[in-house]
Structure 1
Amino acid sequence: MMIRLCFALCLLAAPALADDYIAFHSPSGNIQCGMSTGDYAQVRCDMSELTPTYHKAPADCEFDWGSSFAVDAGGKGYLACVSDAVADPGAVELGYGKSITLGPFTCTSEKSGMECTNLGGHGFKISKAKQSLF
Protein backbone atom coordinates (compact mmCIF):
# COMPACT_ATOMS: atom_id res chain seq x y z
CA MET A 1 0.00 0.00 0.00
CA MET A 2 2.75 2.46 0.95
CA ILE A 3 4.67 1.74 -2.26
CA ARG A 4 1.57 2.33 -4.38
CA LEU A 5 0.77 5.57 -2.52
CA CYS A 6 4.33 6.81 -2.93
CA PHE A 7 4.24 5.86 -6.62
CA ALA A 8 1.02 7.81 -7.14
CA LEU A 9 2.25 10.86 -5.25
CA CYS A 10 5.67 10.73 -6.88
CA LEU A 11 4.01 10.46 -10.30
CA LEU A 12 1.98 13.59 -9.58
CA ALA A 13 5.11 15.49 -8.56
CA ALA A 14 7.39 14.23 -11.35
CA PRO A 15 8.08 16.32 -14.46
CA ALA A 16 6.28 15.21 -17.62
CA LEU A 17 8.09 13.09 -20.16
CA ALA A 18 7.48 13.10 -23.93
CA ASP A 19 4.57 10.63 -23.88
CA ASP A 20 3.23 10.61 -20.33
CA TYR A 21 -0.21 9.46 -19.22
CA ILE A 22 -1.96 9.94 -15.89
CA ALA A 23 -5.31 8.41 -14.95
CA PHE A 24 -7.22 10.07 -12.11
CA HIS A 25 -10.73 10.44 -10.73
CA SER A 26 -12.80 12.64 -8.47
CA PRO A 27 -13.26 11.55 -4.84
CA SER A 28 -16.87 10.56 -5.60
CA GLY A 29 -15.66 8.38 -8.50
CA ASN A 30 -18.31 9.88 -10.80
CA ILE A 31 -15.67 11.65 -12.92
CA GLN A 32 -12.90 9.48 -14.41
CA CYS A 33 -10.12 11.20 -16.38
CA GLY A 34 -7.05 10.49 -18.47
CA MET A 35 -4.41 13.09 -19.30
CA SER A 36 -1.73 12.47 -21.92
CA THR A 37 1.09 14.24 -23.71
CA GLY A 38 2.91 13.40 -26.93
CA ASP A 39 1.30 12.74 -30.32
CA TYR A 40 -2.19 12.41 -28.82
CA ALA A 41 -2.01 15.14 -26.19
CA GLN A 42 -5.42 15.42 -24.60
CA VAL A 43 -7.39 15.46 -21.38
CA ARG A 44 -10.60 13.45 -21.38
CA CYS A 45 -13.04 12.96 -18.54
CA ASP A 46 -15.97 10.55 -18.56
CA MET A 47 -18.96 10.85 -16.26
CA SER A 48 -21.01 7.87 -15.13
CA GLU A 49 -23.92 9.91 -13.75
CA LEU A 50 -25.07 13.28 -15.07
CA THR A 51 -28.02 15.38 -16.11
CA PRO A 52 -26.90 16.13 -19.69
CA THR A 53 -26.52 19.76 -20.69
CA TYR A 54 -25.96 18.79 -24.33
CA HIS A 55 -28.56 16.65 -26.10
CA LYS A 56 -27.95 16.43 -29.86
CA ALA A 57 -25.17 14.13 -30.98
CA PRO A 58 -23.41 14.90 -34.26
CA ALA A 59 -24.75 12.90 -37.22
CA ASP A 60 -21.32 11.32 -37.79
CA CYS A 61 -21.01 9.91 -34.24
CA GLU A 62 -21.65 6.17 -34.26
CA PHE A 63 -20.59 5.60 -30.65
CA ASP A 64 -21.36 6.99 -27.18
CA TRP A 65 -21.80 10.74 -26.94
CA GLY A 66 -22.81 13.17 -24.22
CA SER A 67 -20.86 11.97 -21.17
CA SER A 68 -17.21 12.25 -22.35
CA PHE A 69 -15.56 15.66 -22.37
CA ALA A 70 -12.17 16.46 -23.88
CA VAL A 71 -9.72 19.19 -24.75
CA ASP A 72 -6.63 18.93 -26.92
CA ALA A 73 -3.43 20.97 -26.50
CA GLY A 74 -4.86 23.60 -28.87
CA GLY A 75 -8.49 24.53 -29.40
CA LYS A 76 -11.67 24.52 -27.37
CA GLY A 77 -13.18 21.80 -25.24
CA TYR A 78 -15.59 19.38 -26.91
CA LEU A 79 -17.85 16.41 -26.35
CA ALA A 80 -16.02 13.29 -27.47
CA CYS A 81 -17.61 10.52 -29.54
CA VAL A 82 -16.15 7.41 -27.87
CA SER A 83 -16.29 3.64 -27.95
CA ASP A 84 -14.10 3.15 -24.87
CA ALA A 85 -13.69 4.49 -21.34
CA VAL A 86 -10.83 6.20 -19.48
CA ALA A 87 -11.71 4.57 -16.14
CA ASP A 88 -8.64 2.87 -14.69
CA PRO A 89 -8.66 0.79 -11.49
CA GLY A 90 -5.16 2.10 -10.72
CA ALA A 91 -6.13 5.76 -11.14
CA VAL A 92 -5.05 8.38 -8.61
CA GLU A 93 -7.77 10.10 -6.59
CA LEU A 94 -7.60 13.86 -7.15
CA GLY A 95 -8.89 15.30 -3.88
CA TYR A 96 -11.20 18.28 -3.73
CA GLY A 97 -9.26 21.53 -3.96
CA LYS A 98 -6.32 19.80 -5.65
CA SER A 99 -4.96 20.23 -9.18
CA ILE A 100 -2.91 18.06 -11.46
CA THR A 101 -0.80 19.33 -14.37
CA LEU A 102 0.78 17.40 -17.20
CA GLY A 103 2.29 19.16 -20.20
CA PRO A 104 -0.13 21.86 -21.39
CA PHE A 105 -3.04 20.64 -19.24
CA THR A 106 -4.31 21.35 -15.75
CA CYS A 107 -7.34 19.80 -14.06
CA THR A 108 -8.76 20.95 -10.76
CA SER A 109 -11.11 18.90 -8.62
CA GLU A 110 -13.72 20.72 -6.55
CA LYS A 111 -16.79 19.55 -4.66
CA SER A 112 -18.73 21.28 -7.44
CA GLY A 113 -17.05 19.22 -10.21
CA MET A 114 -13.91 19.04 -12.35
CA GLU A 115 -12.40 21.75 -14.55
CA CYS A 116 -9.73 20.97 -17.14
CA THR A 117 -7.93 23.49 -19.32
CA ASN A 118 -5.12 23.77 -21.84
CA LEU A 119 -2.53 26.58 -21.96
CA GLY A 120 -4.90 28.67 -24.12
CA GLY A 121 -7.47 28.68 -21.30
CA HIS A 122 -9.86 26.41 -23.23
CA GLY A 123 -11.41 23.28 -21.85
CA PHE A 124 -14.43 22.07 -19.94
CA LYS A 125 -16.08 22.27 -16.55
CA ILE A 126 -18.25 19.34 -15.59
CA SER A 127 -20.47 18.31 -12.72
CA LYS A 128 -23.38 15.95 -12.31
CA ALA A 129 -25.84 18.87 -12.70
CA LYS A 130 -24.20 20.89 -15.52
CA GLN A 131 -21.43 20.69 -18.10
CA SER A 132 -19.83 23.53 -20.07
CA LEU A 133 -17.30 23.76 -22.89
CA PHE A 134 -15.11 26.79 -23.51
Structure 2
Amino acid sequence: MKKLILTLLATSNVFAFANVAHAEYQHFHSKGYAVGCSVDSDEPIFVGCSIKGDYVKHHYKPTEECELDWGQNFALNAKTGKAEIECAGDTYIGVDGSKLLKVGQTVKGNGWTCTAIAGDGIKCIANNQKHGFILNKSKQILINK
Protein backbone atom coordinates (compact mmCIF):
# COMPACT_ATOMS: atom_id res chain seq x y z
CA MET A 1 0.00 0.00 0.00
CA LYS A 2 2.88 2.43 0.81
CA LYS A 3 4.39 1.82 -2.62
CA LEU A 4 1.08 2.63 -4.34
CA ILE A 5 0.69 5.89 -2.39
CA LEU A 6 4.27 6.95 -3.16
CA THR A 7 3.75 6.14 -6.84
CA LEU A 8 0.55 8.20 -6.93
CA LEU A 9 2.28 11.12 -5.20
CA ALA A 10 5.22 10.97 -7.59
CA THR A 11 2.87 10.80 -10.57
CA SER A 12 0.80 13.76 -9.40
CA ASN A 13 4.01 15.79 -8.86
CA VAL A 14 5.14 15.01 -12.42
CA PHE A 15 1.78 16.20 -13.79
CA ALA A 16 1.93 19.33 -11.65
CA PHE A 17 5.46 20.07 -12.89
CA ALA A 18 4.42 19.48 -16.51
CA ASN A 19 1.55 21.95 -16.16
CA VAL A 20 3.79 24.58 -14.58
CA ALA A 21 6.52 24.07 -17.20
CA HIS A 22 3.98 24.28 -20.03
CA ALA A 23 2.67 27.63 -18.71
CA GLU A 24 6.15 29.20 -18.99
CA TYR A 25 6.03 29.28 -22.79
CA GLN A 26 3.98 31.15 -25.36
CA HIS A 27 3.47 29.24 -28.62
CA PHE A 28 2.18 30.49 -31.97
CA HIS A 29 2.08 29.19 -35.53
CA SER A 30 1.27 30.11 -39.11
CA LYS A 31 -1.59 28.71 -41.18
CA GLY A 32 -1.30 24.96 -41.63
CA TYR A 33 1.48 24.77 -39.02
CA ALA A 34 4.06 25.46 -41.73
CA VAL A 35 5.95 27.51 -39.12
CA GLY A 36 5.72 27.16 -35.35
CA CYS A 37 7.34 29.41 -32.73
CA SER A 38 7.89 29.48 -28.97
CA VAL A 39 8.87 32.10 -26.43
CA ASP A 40 10.11 31.32 -22.92
CA SER A 41 8.42 33.78 -20.54
CA ASP A 42 11.50 33.60 -18.28
CA GLU A 43 13.70 34.78 -21.16
CA PRO A 44 11.40 36.87 -23.41
CA ILE A 45 14.33 38.37 -25.35
CA PHE A 46 14.56 35.07 -27.25
CA VAL A 47 12.15 33.62 -29.83
CA GLY A 48 12.62 30.32 -31.65
CA CYS A 49 10.76 29.18 -34.77
CA SER A 50 10.75 26.03 -36.89
CA ILE A 51 9.80 25.38 -40.50
CA LYS A 52 8.46 21.93 -41.36
CA GLY A 53 11.32 19.71 -42.48
CA ASP A 54 9.94 19.01 -45.95
CA TYR A 55 9.85 22.79 -46.65
CA VAL A 56 13.54 23.43 -45.84
CA LYS A 57 15.18 25.05 -48.88
CA HIS A 58 18.09 27.07 -47.41
CA HIS A 59 21.75 26.16 -47.07
CA TYR A 60 22.58 27.77 -43.71
CA LYS A 61 24.49 25.72 -41.13
CA PRO A 62 24.83 26.24 -37.38
CA THR A 63 27.90 28.23 -36.34
CA GLU A 64 29.06 25.47 -33.98
CA GLU A 65 29.51 21.70 -34.45
CA CYS A 66 26.11 19.99 -34.43
CA GLU A 67 25.51 16.32 -33.75
CA LEU A 68 21.73 16.77 -33.76
CA ASP A 69 19.39 18.01 -36.49
CA TRP A 70 19.83 21.43 -38.04
CA GLY A 71 18.07 23.43 -40.70
CA GLN A 72 14.54 23.54 -39.33
CA ASN A 73 15.03 25.73 -36.26
CA PHE A 74 15.78 29.44 -36.34
CA ALA A 75 16.43 31.61 -33.29
CA LEU A 76 16.47 35.33 -32.61
CA ASN A 77 18.05 36.90 -29.55
CA ALA A 78 16.85 40.51 -29.26
CA LYS A 79 19.65 41.37 -26.83
CA THR A 80 22.38 40.52 -29.35
CA GLY A 81 20.14 41.13 -32.37
CA LYS A 82 21.53 38.04 -34.03
CA ALA A 83 19.42 35.51 -35.94
CA GLU A 84 20.84 32.04 -36.42
CA ILE A 85 20.20 28.39 -37.17
CA GLU A 86 19.80 26.23 -34.08
CA CYS A 87 21.29 22.81 -33.48
CA ALA A 88 18.33 20.92 -31.99
CA GLY A 89 16.72 17.54 -31.61
CA ASP A 90 13.17 18.90 -31.61
CA THR A 91 11.04 21.56 -33.31
CA TYR A 92 8.70 24.33 -32.19
CA ILE A 93 5.88 22.99 -34.41
CA GLY A 94 2.77 21.23 -33.15
CA VAL A 95 2.86 22.29 -29.49
CA ASP A 96 -0.50 21.98 -27.71
CA GLY A 97 -2.05 25.38 -27.02
CA SER A 98 -0.27 27.06 -29.93
CA LYS A 99 -2.09 30.18 -31.18
CA LEU A 100 -2.79 30.61 -34.90
CA LEU A 101 -1.47 33.90 -36.29
CA LYS A 102 -3.44 35.08 -39.31
CA VAL A 103 -1.65 37.11 -42.00
CA GLY A 104 -0.81 40.53 -40.56
CA GLN A 105 -1.20 39.51 -36.90
CA THR A 106 1.77 40.21 -34.66
CA VAL A 107 3.28 38.84 -31.46
CA LYS A 108 5.77 41.03 -29.59
CA GLY A 109 8.39 40.12 -27.03
CA ASN A 110 11.11 41.98 -25.24
CA GLY A 111 12.84 43.61 -28.22
CA TRP A 112 11.46 41.50 -31.08
CA THR A 113 8.33 41.29 -33.23
CA CYS A 114 6.96 38.30 -35.18
CA THR A 115 4.29 38.78 -37.85
CA ALA A 116 2.39 36.21 -39.89
CA ILE A 117 3.06 36.76 -43.60
CA ALA A 118 1.60 35.46 -46.86
CA GLY A 119 2.75 32.03 -47.97
CA ASP A 120 1.93 30.47 -44.58
CA GLY A 121 4.98 32.09 -43.01
CA ILE A 122 6.26 34.13 -40.11
CA LYS A 123 8.78 36.99 -40.09
CA CYS A 124 10.61 37.76 -36.83
CA ILE A 125 12.71 40.90 -36.43
CA ALA A 126 14.78 42.32 -33.53
CA ASN A 127 13.32 45.80 -33.16
CA ASN A 128 16.56 47.77 -32.69
CA GLN A 129 18.89 45.96 -35.06
CA LYS A 130 16.38 44.95 -37.76
CA HIS A 131 17.98 41.50 -37.83
CA GLY A 132 15.83 38.39 -37.92
CA PHE A 133 14.44 35.75 -40.23
CA ILE A 134 11.66 35.02 -42.69
CA LEU A 135 10.25 31.50 -42.82
CA ASN A 136 7.64 30.15 -45.21
CA LYS A 137 7.12 27.18 -47.52
CA SER A 138 9.13 28.63 -50.39
CA LYS A 139 12.03 30.35 -48.59
CA GLN A 140 13.90 30.68 -45.34
CA ILE A 141 16.07 33.76 -44.99
CA LEU A 142 18.38 34.95 -42.22
CA ILE A 143 18.51 38.75 -42.01
CA ASN A 144 21.75 39.81 -40.32
CA LYS A 145 22.72 43.13 -41.90
Between the two proteins, what is the percent identity of the paired residues? 30
Larger C-alpha radius of gyration, 1 or 2?
Answer: 2
Aligned counterpart, 1:67: 72
**Any conservation in 2 of the 1:65–1:82 contact (CA below 8 Å)?**
yes
Following superposition of structure 1 onto structure 2, how do residues 1-134 of structure 1 map, counting pairs within 5 Å? 21-39=25-43, 41-48=45-52, 49-54=54-59, 56=61, 60-73=65-78, 74-87=80-93, 88-112=95-119, 113-119=121-127, 120-134=129-143
Q: Which 5+ residue runs of structure 1 have no aligned equivalent? A: 1-19
Q: TM-score, normalised by structure 2?
A: 0.70
Q: TM-score, normalised by structure 1?
A: 0.75
Aligned counterpart, 1:7: none
Name the CA distance, whole Å, in 1 between partners of 2:109 and 2:60. Answer: 31
**Any conservation in 2 of the 1:123–1:133 contact (CA below 8 Å)?**
yes
- Residue 35 (structure 1) shift: 2.1
Alpha carbons of 1:117 and 1:89: their partners in 2 closer, same or farther (altered >3 Å)?
A: same
Q: Which 5+ residue runs of structure 2 have no aligned equivalent? A: 1-23
Aligned length: 115
Name the CA distance, whole Å, in 1 between partners of 2:109 and 2:43. Answer: 14
Alpha carbons of 1:41 and 1:55: their partners in 2 closer, same or farther (altered >3 Å)?
A: closer
- Two-structure CA RMSD over aligned residues (Å): 2.0
Q: Match of 1:105, as an amino acid? A: W
| Structure (1 or 2) with the greater strand fraction | 2
- Residue 128 (structure 1) shift: 1.3
What per-residue deviation string (whole Å, max 9, x for no partner) do you get for residues 21-77 of structure 1?
A: 310000121111012354473111111131421155556101110111111112321
